[in-house]
Structure 1
Amino acid sequence: MEKKLATYICTGCGIGDALDIDQLAGVAQKECKVPVVKTHACLCSQEGVDLIKADMEAEGVNALMIAACSPRVMYDVFRFDGCIVDRVNLREQVVWCQKPGDEDTQMMAEDYVRMSTAKIKKMDLPEPYQPEEEISKDILIVGGGLAGLTAAKEVSKAGYKAVLVEKEKELGGFQKKVAKIATFPYKDLKDNDVAALIQEVTSDANVTVYTGAKVEKTAGGPGLFQVTISQNGTKAEHKVGAIVMAAGWKPYDPAQLDPKLGFGQSPDVITNVLFEEMAQGGGLKRPSDGKDVTNVAFLQCAGQRDPERLPYCSSTCCITSLKQALFIKQNNPDANVFIVFKEMRTPGQAEDLYRRAQEEGVIFIRCQDPEVKVMGSAVTVEALDELLGETVVLENLDLVVLATGMVPVTAFGEDYAVVRARMEQQEGEEKKEEEELEVPQDAILVSDILNLEYRQGPELPGLKHGFPDSHFICFPYETRRTGIYAAGCVRRPMGVAAALEDGAGAALKAIQCVEMVSQGKAVHPRAGDMSFPEFFMQRCTQCKRCTEECPFGAINEDEKGNPLPQPTRCRRCGVCMGACPERIISFKNYSVGMIGDMIKNMEVPEEDEEKPRILVLACENDAYPALDMAGLRRMNYNPWVRVIPMRCLGSMNLIFIADALSSGIDGVLLLGCKYGDDYQCHFVKGSELANIRLGKIKETLDRLVLESDRVRFETIAITDYDKLPQLLDDFAETLEEVGPNPYKDF
């Protein structure tokens, strides 16, 4: 579109006191050739907004530079439909973190105006992606357990249609094997009401149910998923908009437990899962001889929180043992019940269940390393009581119940992983004769849940414990496949109350997804973003960098290696833009050329002025707000820095560094999120990819005959604002030691 640019400078919040506003306006009007430049004492007020709207109507202004506060605030006030808007952060990142009235502070503000002008000239209004085929708003739910049933019910209640697929012949998941449940308000045991939930879902006209079925193929993306479901030799096709994966869990294999816990040495040593089956079967009897149970010991964390077995806590085992102990007490108040625990964990309000067990006479023994001893038919537990400081011996036990943990079906345990690897090895060796390979009957191989037709793999990427990968802090339901939401125990270990909440939460996220996609908007984390990557295919070299580096599987490829973008899968992070060596990928409001022009429009003082320049490429999710927070606290830092926010540091293209250094800028500092197993990057891999790319910058520096100290990468969390001033000052000192960029004045 033909642009008419206007600049509006706010003088409030101390901006007018710290800067020469007339000089700043002159830079915009004379140097940057902005035809309309106005100032206002409080631009975010109704009067200020009306000023802008009047110019839009009378002057035809359609591209706005708002030089005021951070773009992270007042975004609803400075939203003008049909207009290009760029925000210049004069408040938090200029006047609140620099000396008022200082020459360097003025130069910083003027540079940001120049950079914004260069950016706006390259920007276009995003046009929402609208596929040619009709978008579906139906929701597929994989898994008919507690979380899956709840998701289906909530989807229907919200007025949407659901397709529920369960691999077993009956709905209910593990919950249908449970006699009593412990849930809010945790005052007493409740009857299992999963049958009522199943009836509610199966009788709902908005829910199509498949049992004894599996998802054979999932193609497409959000709004456009094409799903093939196989059931009893028949196939059904459904078009859905989003997917809730509530595939459930399996109990940890007790055969893998430490032998000192006694499993397999006596039929009277059972797991918490076997206890549930016995309780539902009509009562508790000693497995060895069928006699009544009067002496029972529960051993917590069986195989859990053990680096060699199940390294995490399954969250619900303590509550389950409390429930089972109370079940015994209700059936036989005179029974002796012991719970041997490392730490008693009752998340939420479940501590009331712990108090109830104490009131009923359950005895608690804190011990980190109990041992089960089996001698003939006698079963004994020895435990060093940490509170008493002496060893307690529990003799003549009728039952020892081991609290084994939850393993998501996406993980299928390390033993299954070994089986899978050996199977693949055999296939690779044309199935040479080897020892017979036994695959557990309940083993769920990685390609048996969603069967995605993504070049990046048929299933969801997982964490090191097998749970679907997501940003647990900021986006708990989202997985690394856009439009697919994990819920229930496949997402993390949880109990009944949490599973009900999880099913409802994932259903709401799926509904949000289909609604946003239907409007051409991103769902998360850049919610509402209507831009999407565009590919100039004439220059594509089929290097596959974009398809391999996209963290979300948003780009497939054809047999020749050409990228096949799937825009509804895209999260608008720009990682593909940063990956492309030919720079053929861009967004209408975010591109390599745009950022390159911003860098080139920074004014670099001559060497004899002794005013170095530092380009800071800052992740907009953590580092940029951390800089804002430093400003809010009036923390001063080096005035040589010029900050350009990145959608994700993974969108950083190496040409930015080459452009900066060849323009005479003295140093480049990259501020990204923490990466690794406990990553904080909103786009999972972006920060890590930026660091990997930076490892290849030596060639560029060598070519420019520059020192490697001129470029640095640092990880910054949003809470690290207090460290930023020192970090920036230290980098500036390093550059002073290295000396001026020899490309100055060229």
Structure 2
Amino acid sequence: MEKKTGVYLCSGCGIGEAVDIAKLEALAAKEGKTQTVRTHAFLCGPEGVDLIKKDIAGEGINAVVIGACSPRVNTDVFAFGPALVERANLREHVAWCQTPNTEDTQALAHDYLRMSLVRMQKTESPAPYLSEDFARSVLVIGGGITGMTAALEAAETGTDVVLVEKSPALGGNAAKLHKRTPTRAPYREPEDTGVREAIRRVMEHPRIKVHTGAEVANTKGGPCLFDVTIRKGSETIEERIGAIVMATGATPYDPAKLGDLGYGLSPDVITMEAYEAMAQKGKIVRPSDGKEVQRAAFVLCAGSRDEKHLPYCSAYCCGAAMKQAVYLREQNRDASIYLVYDEIRTPGQLEEFYRRVQQDGGMFIKGKVSGVKEEPGKRLSLEVTEALLGSSPAVIGDLDLVVLATGLVPNAGGDNGGVLHLEYRQGPELPTHKYGFPDSHFICFPYETRRTGIYTAGTVRRPMGIAAAREDAAGAALKAIQAIEMTTRGAAVHPRAGDLTYPEFAMQGCTQCKRCTEECPFGAINEDEKANPILVATRCRRCGTCMGACPQRIISFKNYSVDMIGSMLKSIDVPGEEEEKPRILVFACENDAYPALDMAGINRIPLNPHVRIIPVRCLGSVNLVWISDAMSKGFDGVMLMGCRHGDDYQCHFVKGSEIASVRLSKIAETLSRMALESDRVRQEAISIMDFRRAPEILSAFAESLQAFGPNPMKGF
């Protein structure tokens, strides 16, 4: 359908006082090739919105360009559905951060309006990816307390659930516990685990199909099109699945590696799991002779927070050790209990339980166990380097039992035979970070993995207790349902939730370089036997990393393409060298950097008037041709502003900023061929809270460019 464009300018919020609106109207009419150009003093108000709606209904306007506030605000107000909408940021990035009524401010407003007009010209109506074969069921892998909770939460919404557990019975590790730490006031007594009740509810629920003694043998496809093969003995079961919750739990750290803490020295040096098994049977005794325990020591962080073993905190151990101390005191009121710790971590109301154990005679000793010895009579002693007083090592002797609070190792599929068996070009299991837990954007998307539509919950995601695991399960189940709802509409999930486009490939130009399949953070692109890319559309998060990777520029979205951004930057007016008005182009990530620059405007922090900002989906989507085009156009410098990368990354698309950094390291050769300095291009890590720092970075960059002089390409 042919576009009919209408341009709508707001003169409110200080815009009309900062720029000449009449000149903007003239520019819109000329370069937008439209006679429908209107100005309103309160465009986001009822009258302003009604003005646009009347033109859509009466004039046939189907392409709306709005010059007003940031595209990040009033998105619901300026949604005129099916009409296309493009926004020019004349408020936060012009009126609120520039000196009013100057030549530079007017030029800035003109450039932002030009870019929006060009963007609209290059935008096509979205055609969402839809299929009659979409499934809406949820597969839960793991029948422990986390998996059962996820299954129940999903089923209660009316969603069909397939629950797969490799053991012969449901329950998982939680079924091996005597009790759990308290979750209800007054938070003083251990509680029933709730496992038996969860099993009953799962087995009786009409929407939950349970396969015990079964494992996932193969998973292919993507959200709402997952084809999962389940192997149950000699039987093979095929299921079409909408989304997956992986709740495969964790395994206690191998105590055989803890010989320095006495494991293997005596049968009376045991793990928390062995202690829990005794409590579940009814009596805690010395394993060596079955006698009653009078004196026991719990060694917390046994192998956790230790670079030689597990470098991370296992979270649940402190509370679990205290719970086990209560077991012994309930059995024997005369028992002496010692808890040796590095740091006690009892978040929330668990602090009340900590006090209860202290008040009941628990002796907490801050220090490190430096040795374990067996005394005459098969008694044990601990040598503890006391941390608070800094004294010489203390000895806790005449012990009947030493309990090691070992940490948790996730069952993420790496070394334990696999879980998902994905048919993905990037591997059969979920990518993990350095500790072996499935990777995610830890700030914004805690249940996320780098495989769209697959969510982790419970101790496979991070160490936690039962209460946290059940909460985790509910969150993951809701995310799975959300993924199904969005996918069946043809829309993207977060962070570009609702985006109806997906990457399209002009395959006649493909050179089978594999960059798109290798660099996609989410494994959305497979390959055929000839290395041609095969998009699995429902896996795609719409970050555009594939578009930035492609040297042939054959990948595009209907509302985002190499040609679109290239045309936008070429539409910017770059003054000649004699005018002494530099131009700096900024590609700003829409997730952190662009919001930070918006916040700078909201706080009326001045931005350099020579900077022109183009929002991008992710720095991973930046194609290097844009940088060479900008330099050829005469821009004096180009800055990429994106999220932090590295171990504490904040990139919403996991590794987009990191990929951009690698690509940028190769730009020096291109600039050298153009006789330009490599320092004219820079990348900066910006968080959403860096709104005061971001303008300073831009000013410092502009100042550094003065040493190189104007871009010699100006005017060519």
Common fold by TM > 0.5: yes
Mapped pair 1:654 → 2:624: yes
Per-residue deviation, residues 140-174 of structure 1 (Å, max 9, x unmatched): 00000111000111111110110011111111000
Task: Identify the match of residue 463 of structure 1 among 423, 433, 457.
Answer: 433
Instruction: Give the root-mean-square deviation of aligned CA atoms.
Output: 1.2
**Residue number in structure 2 paired with 1:379:** 380
1:365 and 1:623 map into 2 onto residues whose CA distance is: 47
In the alignment, is the contact (CA less than 8 A) between 1:411 and 1:467 conserved in 2? no
Name 1:147's counterpart in structure 2: 146
**In the alignment, what sits opposite 1:54?**
54
Alignment of 1:506-655 (within 5 A): 506-655=476-625
Name the residue aligned to 1:708: 678
Provide structure 2 residue ranges, at least 5 long, that are not aligned to the other structure. Answer: none
The residue type paired with residue 483 of structure 1 is G
Partner Cα separation in structure 2 for residue 468 and residue 220 of structure 1 = 20
Match of 1:208 in 2: 209
1:395 aligned residue: 397
**Runs of 4+ off more than 6 Å:** none
CA contact (8 A) 1:183 1:496 kept: no
Counterpart of 1:245, as a letter, is M
Q: What's the offset of the Cα at 1:135?
A: 0.6
The structural deviation recorded for 1:450 is 0.4
Contact (CA 8 Å) 1:618, 1:671: kept in 2 or not? yes
Give how far 1:389 is off. Answer: 4.5
Partner of 1:127: 127
Cα distance in 1 for partners of 2:123, 2:533 equals 24
Does the aligned pair in 2 maintain the 1:380–1:394 contact within 8 Å? Answer: yes
- Residue 699 of structure 2 aligns to a residue in which SS? helix
**1:391-540 paired onto structure 2 within 5 Å:** 391-410=393-412, 444-445=416-417, 448-540=418-510
Which whole-Å deviations, capped at 9, do the CAs of 1:317-341 have from their partners, x for residues lacking one? 0000110011111111111111111
Residue 177 (structure 1) aligns with: 176
Q: Does 1:194 align with 2:198?
A: no
Q: Write the deviation string for residues 580-628 of structure 1: whole angstroms up to 9, x where unpaired.
A: 1111111111011000110100000011100010010010001000101
Q: Can you list the C-alpha shifts for 1:254-276, whole angstroms capped at 9, x where unaligned? A: 1112x331111111111111111
- Aligned residues of 2:299 and 2:369 also touching (Cα < 8 A): no
Partner SS state of residue 300, structure 1: strand
- Distance (Å, rounded) in 1 between the aligned partners of 2:700 and 2:255: 54
Q: CA deviation at 1:571?
A: 0.2
1:298 aligns to what SS in structure 2?
strand
**One-letter identity of the residue aligned with 1:579:** A
- Aligned 8 A contact 2:369 2:383 in 1: no
CA distance in 2, matches of 1:729, 1:395: 66
Measure, in 1, the Cα distance between the counterparts of 2:410 and 2:54: 58
Cα contact 1:260–1:373 (8 A) shared by 2: no
Letter in 1 for 2:412: T
Per-residue deviation at 1:708?
A: 0.8
User: Residue 710 of structure 2 corresponds to which residue in structure 1?
Assistant: 740
Taking structure 2 as the reference length, the TM-score comes to 0.98
Distance, in Å, in 2 between the alignment partners of 1:664 and 1:318 is: 62
Cα deviation, residue 35, structure 1:
2.2
2: CA distance, partners of 1:314 / 1:384: 22
Name the amino acid aligned to 1:141: V
Q: Distance in 2 between matches of 1:260 and 1:742?
A: 68
Letter in 1 for 2:657: S
Confirm or deny: 8 A CA contact 2:375 2:398 kept in the other structure: no
User: 1:65-119 CA deviation, whole Å, 9 max, x = no partner?
Assistant: 1111111111111111011111111111111111112211111010001111111
Using the TM superposition, give the Cα deviation of residue 48 of structure 1 relative to its aligned residue in structure 2, in angstroms: 0.6
- Is the partner of 2:483 in helix, strand or coil? helix
SS at match of 2:669: helix
Is the alpha carbon distance of 1:197 and 1:31 closer, same or farther for their aligned partners in structure 2, counting shifts above 3 Å?
closer
Q: CA deviation at 1:386?
A: 3.4
Cα deviation per residue 1:214-243 (whole Å; 9 max; x = unaligned)? 100001100000000001111000001000
Q: 1:78 to 1:286 in 2, by over 3 A?
A: same
Contact 1:481/1:553, CA 8 A, preserved across alignment: yes
Counterparts of 2:256 and 2:17 in 1: how far apart (Å)? 73
- 2:284 is matched with which residue? 284
Using the alignment, how far apart are the partners of 2:700 and 2:67 within structure 1? 29
- The residue number in structure 2 matching 1:268 is 268
Of the three residues 701, 705, 709, the one matched with 1:731 is: 701
Q: Which amino acid aligns with 1:192?
A: T
Partners of 1:308 and 1:677 lie apart in 2 by 19
Pairing 1:27–2:27 present: yes
Q: Which amino acid aligns with 1:174?
A: N
Paired residue for 1:245? 246
Alpha-carbon deviations, 1:546-592, whole Å to 9, x = none? 11110101000100011110000000000011111111111111011
Task: State whether residues 454 and 553 of structure 1, in contact with CA within 8 Å, keep that contact through their aligned partners in structure 2.
Answer: yes
